[in-house]
Amino acid sequence: MRNKRRNVLIKSISLLILVIIFITMNYNTSFAKILTINWDELEFYIPNNVSQEIQDGAYVISCAKDDSYVIDVDGASLNSTANIHIWKRNEGLNQRFYISYEGNGYYKITNINSGKVLDVNEASTESGANIQQYENNDSSAQRWKIIKNEDGTYTFIAQCSEKALDVNGAIYENGTNVQQYDSNNTSAQKFNLEETDIINEGVVSIRKADSINKVIDVKDNSSRSGEEIQLYEKNGSLAQRFEIHKVKNDEVRIRTISSGGWLTEEEMQEGSSVVQLGNNSTPVTDANTWKVEWNDGITFKNKESGLYLCVDENNADNGTKIKVSEKSTNQVDQRFLVVKEELLEGWYEIESALGTFIDLDSAKSNSGTNIHMWARNSQNNQKFKFTKSGDGYIITTMYGLAFDVENGSMENFANVRQWENNGSNAQKWKAEIVDGGYIRFINCNSGKYLDVANGSAESGANVQQYEGNSTKAQLWKLNKTSFNSGWFSENGAMYCIDPVTGQLVKNCTRVDPMMTDPAQYGSIYDFDSEGRATWHLPTEADLPGGTGPSAPIPTLTGDRRQRVIQLALSRLGCPYQGGNAPTGFVCDGLTAWSYTTALGDWFYTGPGSKADLQDASWQWEKVETRNGIKYDRSQLKSGDLVFFGNPQVAQGPGMIDYNGQAYHAGIYYKDDIMINARSGGVDLYSVSGYYMDWLGGGSPYEAETSKVEIHN
């Protein structure tokens, strides 16, 4: 009976609602007017007491569709305007964000690596606007609602636009851009929040958060236990490298590379200096343990004293002491950024604990030259470049050749020499930090250590590999240095560091009319006031004899592409004439002459006569059969041939046959410009602006290369 009455009541209420709706829609009564809503004047607001749904903390923001991809700051950049995209998870700090509640339902999302905030570019309200990191400015472009979806994922809504954080095109691959877009409940706008630690273990630099070119530094790179810690300009030395060791979640010890000791308060009181103390065997104590916290930067709180690591009086001058203090009001002096670093990077002198230095025997450039020990001379033959490769380093000499265990031997006493870099494990060396500021090197192939034969302190002692024994013969100190700029010579050959590749290049020539010896190989270089070399493509200014019909054939420098360009440039202004090289040219005559003069008969491989060279279609076939055609103009390289004409459809549906249809040829220079011969003579002209149809381009070389040639 009770259920029957309830059903009758529900039906009665429903009938009443229908009557009201009918009256509202069909009659102009005062009652209908009462129910009219002015939607334009209706306002919504978020009350001040909105509860916090996401707890403050460090998070990885992964894509719900594929959680192997996460939100990432491009290149681990520390700069404002650095782009936000997705990238494969790698545990880097540029993939960790500190989310903090700012009130009224909004959160600030700060990258832990850079201290910069997730930001909508120019506070745009448009769909497709880019997401970047930017210095915190408390604007609506940097505030986000974080909405939990029914499936447990999260959607991020920008305050400035009410648009959602979005993976462009829902494409899950490295580098896909992150933007804002109209909220659409798709997987591109759904993310996971994964709690994580604020910092990782590993080698780092510790930078002042508001002055990132100033870093924590061991005074004078001293290996003395008890040496003070200071602030200093970033220089990449080992005095500015530290190793983070986790004690437990967000509690760490900080080991210096300079001594192998630990950052510790000198005295447990306000204003106490911070020093490096102990060694690898020093046990974990509250005095050498630091609690990691976040306050718009990383702070380190000593576990024993409760005092914070700080820059004395917030002074950014070189040599300012690092101390401890009570938690300050604004904490600017206590905020740091912890940036992942390679232990070794660049050029070093390698000093043995025995007192001598690794040396390239007689500074010879050939593969097989021996590595031995010698008294310090500060010359380039005692300077070596370290480049990270997998879990080890490639160590290269002044000639770009690698430290190599002879024949990849696994045996004790196997010799170490320089050899052409081949990427093998016999040329890779792991670096192991040792007390006293020393490093040991372990060969990735054999597991044996870089070793001075017989532990000899004499000049000429051989360098070999040997099983680990912790003697001085296997202990090394690395002194940061730089390769001497400018030129040097060996046995009549000249050498220079290529500033693009970082490799040492043999037989280069300086762009200088006073130098009369032609270079066989290399690149074209300029020099600044300090003697540093910079590479450039040939220009008219590199042709002392000028251009035109009467200009001499230039002395050729550079790689194959550059030599072709130099020759073609030297003909600018020559008339449009067939069969008159080098004083006049038709289009394919200029390309044929430039290539054959630069490269000799190598360009011509037959069959047919050499006259066939002066035919754009013949040249097209050489490019097509040797390396394939580039149809996209953006893929062209300096020195490529470019072709124009009228393609025709032949050889079946969809097949385009260009044979016999390439009517015009030129040589690609740069920036959509080609060197070509046309009715007005030899000139520079736009590739995309040429009146004939674009067909394609490419290289006619037997083996395509764009690398600088390095000959021994």
Burial class (CB in 10 A: 0-12, 13-18, 19+), 512: exposed
Average predicted confidence (pLDDT) for the chain: 83
Instruction: Return the pLDDT at 498.
Output: 53
Instruction: Return the pLDDT at 489.
Output: 52
Alpha-carbon distance 275 to 230, whole Å?
9
Instruction: Return the pLDDT at 30.
Output: 42
Instruction: Return the pLDDT at 346.
Output: 87
Alpha-carbon distance 555 to 563, whole Å?
9
Instruction: Return the pLDDT at 41.
Output: 52
Does 493 score more than 80 pLDDT? no
Residue 225 vs residues 262, 263, 271, 437, 480: alpha-carbon distances, Å: 9, 10, 20, 11, 22
Instruction: Return the pLDDT at 234.
Output: 92
For range 292-302, the mean pLDDT? 95
Work out whether strand 106-111 and strand 202-208 pair parallel, antiparallel, or are unpaired: unpaired
Supply 339's token pair: 């940036």
Work out whether strand 509-510 and strand 524-527 pair parallel, antiparallel, or are unpaired: parallel
CB 556 within 8 A of CB 564: no
Instruction: Return the pLDDT at 514.
Output: 26
The larger pLDDT score, comparing residue 407 to residue 236, is at 407
Domain borders along the chain are 57-195, 202-340, 346-480, 488-536, 560-698
Work out whether strand 476-480 and strand 463-466 pair parallel, antiparallel, or are unpaired: unpaired
Instruction: Return the pLDDT at 28.
Output: 46
For range 379-404, the mean pLDDT? 91
118-129 pLDDT tens trace? 999 999 999 999
Which of 478, 183, 446 has its CA nearest to residue 349? 478
Alpha-carbon distance 407 to 670, whole Å?
44
Supply 707's token pair: 């690398």
CB 624 within 8 A of CB 692: no
Share of the chain above pLDDT 70, in %: 79
Element (H, E) at 673: strand 673-678
341-377 pLDDT tens trace? 999 988 899 999 999 999 999 878 789 999 999 999 9
Element (H, E) at 408: none
397 HSE (CA, 13 A, CB side): 29
For range 416-428, the mean pLDDT? 95
Instruction: Return the pLDDT at 19.
Output: 47
Alpha-carbon distance 273 to 282, whole Å?
19
DSSP 282-333: PPP-GGG-EEEEESSSEEEEETTT-PEEEEGGG--STTPBEEEESPPSS-GG
Q: What CATH number labels 560-698?
A: 3.90.1720.10
Does 464 score more than 80 pLDDT? yes
Question: pLDDT confidence of 564, banded at 50, 70, 90?
Answer: confident
Instruction: Return the pLDDT at 610.
Output: 47
Burial class (CB in 10 A: 0-12, 13-18, 19+), 47: exposed
Alpha-carbon distance 61 to 86, whole Å?
10
CB 114 within 8 A of CB 94: yes
Instruction: Return the pLDDT at 506.
Output: 59
Alpha-carbon distance 635 to 367, whole Å?
35
Q: Tell me the three state secondary structure of residue 380.
A: helix
Distance of CA 622 to the CA centre of its chain: 37
DSSP 550: T
Supply 233's token pair: 């300009």
Which of 689, 565, 706 has its CA nearest to residue 639? 565
Alpha-carbon distance 249 to 375, whole Å?
47
Q: Out of 143-152, 522-531, 567-576, which region has the weakest mean confidence (pLDDT)?
A: 522-531
Which residue do the tokens 């250590």 mark? 449
Does 90 score more than 80 pLDDT? yes
Instruction: Return the pLDDT at 701.
Output: 66
Residue 257 vs residues 206, 222, 434: alpha-carbon distances, Å: 13, 10, 8
For range 88-117, the mean pLDDT? 96
The larger pLDDT score, comparing residue 528 to residue 710, is at 528
DSSP 540: G
Instruction: Return the pLDDT at 472.
Output: 97
Classified by CATH at the fold level, domain 346-480 comes out as: Trefoil (Acidic Fibroblast Growth Factor, subunit A) (2.80.10)
Alpha-carbon distance 370 to 699, whole Å?
39
Instruction: Return the pLDDT at 126.
Output: 96
Instruction: Return the pLDDT at 7.
Output: 55
184-235 pLDDT tens trace? 999 999 999 999 999 999 999 999 999 998 999 999 999 999 999 999 999 8
CATH class of 202-340: mainly beta
CB 500 within 8 A of CB 535: yes
Alpha-carbon distance 679 to 663, whole Å?
13
How many C-beta atoms surround the C-beta of residue 421 within 10 A?
A: 18
Alpha-carbon distance 407 to 413, whole Å?
12
Instruction: Return the pLDDT at 42.
Output: 46
Instruction: Return the pLDDT at 588.
Output: 87
497-549 pLDDT tens trace? 554 455 566 554 443 322 223 333 334 455 444 444 455 678 887 787 889 99
Q: What CATH number labels 57-195?
A: 2.80.10.50
Q: Which amino acid does the sequence have at 555? A: T
Q: Tell me the three state secondary structure of residue 712.
A: coil
CB 297 within 8 A of CB 477: no
29-53 pLDDT tens trace? 444 444 454 545 544 444 445 688 9
Predicted model pTM? 0.65
CB 99 within 8 A of CB 57: yes
637-673 pLDDT tens trace? 888 999 998 665 443 333 344 445 688 999 999 889 9
Does 477 score more than 70 pLDDT? yes
Which of 108, 182, 97 has its CA nearest to residue 142? 108
For range 462-484, the mean pLDDT? 92
665-704 pLDDT tens trace? 999 998 899 999 998 899 999 998 888 888 899 887 654 4
CB 89 within 8 A of CB 54: no
Q: Tell me the three state secondary structure of residue 564.
A: helix
**Is there a common fold for 57-195 and 560-698?**
no
